[in-house]
Amino acid sequence: MSLGEFLRGARESAGLSVDDLAERTSIRAGLIKEMEKNNFIHCGGDTYARGHLRNIAPIVFADAQTLIDLYNQEHSTEQRLIHDMLVENNVSKIPTERKTISWKTLAIASVVVLAAVAGGQVIISNSKSTVTPMDVVSPTASVTPTSIPAESPSASKKSEVVTTSVSGEMSLTISAARGNSNIDVVVDGKHLYKGPLFQGDSKSFTGPTSISVYLSNAGDLDLTLNGENLAPLGARNQEIRKTFRSK
């Protein structure tokens, strides 16, 4: 799953159309469509692309730093010092240069920079079709980055809706045991969580009447209901909607 596919899946999970997202982020709908096709060439450079991702993240219930890390791994060609990245994020300020620089030196430096930028654009254009393998980095620092699994040819992307009756109050735990997934959990008609669940993480929910879940990658998740391990609800990359109801 590429960054573009991740963005499209998060938008659809949030129940937004491209036009809805464009209106809420002030980003052109055409540019959003290109980004969802994993094409960031028309974003105006790495800085603008990262800015678009920061604007999109809270709207689609995604982690902004995760999106930026994915962009850096797949698309960024910049080789910057740590200090430069801190300056971009307003963590530190560029020291004031007290030396007097002649206009000739500035002119020469400007020519060199323009030549470097032009060369970089040529390299980016020539390597547009090359995509670096993607690693998804969990927001939790202690979790090792894990790759989102490639889609199995036999896996179905269609959602399946299943309802199960359970006696008494329900306690449901969802664990990302083998991969990452987007999940949406509604307890007794109230949204409790909607967003990504990264490999190695888990979330628990309780409800007296009903618990409804949407899973975008059912085959890589383990579910435990009232302390009992459930059989996998679907295959890898298969979308599942399931409702547990109290008898």
Which band of pLDDT confidence, cut at 50, 70 and 90, is reported for residue 39? very high
Which band of pLDDT confidence, cut at 50, 70 and 90, is reported for residue 205? very high
Residue 65 in this model has a pLDDT that exceeds 80: yes
pLDDT tens readout for residues 50-62: 999 999 999 999 9
> Tell me, what's the pLDDT at 84?
56
Residue 131 in this model has a pLDDT that exceeds 90: no
Which band of pLDDT confidence, cut at 50, 70 and 90, is reported for residue 137? very low
Q: Is 24 exposed, middle or buried (0-12, 13-18, 19+ CB in 10 A)?
A: middle
Which band of pLDDT confidence, cut at 50, 70 and 90, is reported for residue 83? very low
> Tell me, what's the pLDDT at 86?
54
Residue 104 in this model has a pLDDT that exceeds 60: yes
As given in the structure block, the two tokens for residue 205 are: 């929910």
In whole angstroms, give the CA distance from residue 140 to residue 145: 10
Find the mean pLDDT for residues 234-246: 92
> Tell me, what's the pLDDT at 127?
55
Q: What is the percent of the chain with per-residue pLDDT over 90, rounded to a whole number?
A: 54
Find the mean pLDDT for residues 95-107: 63
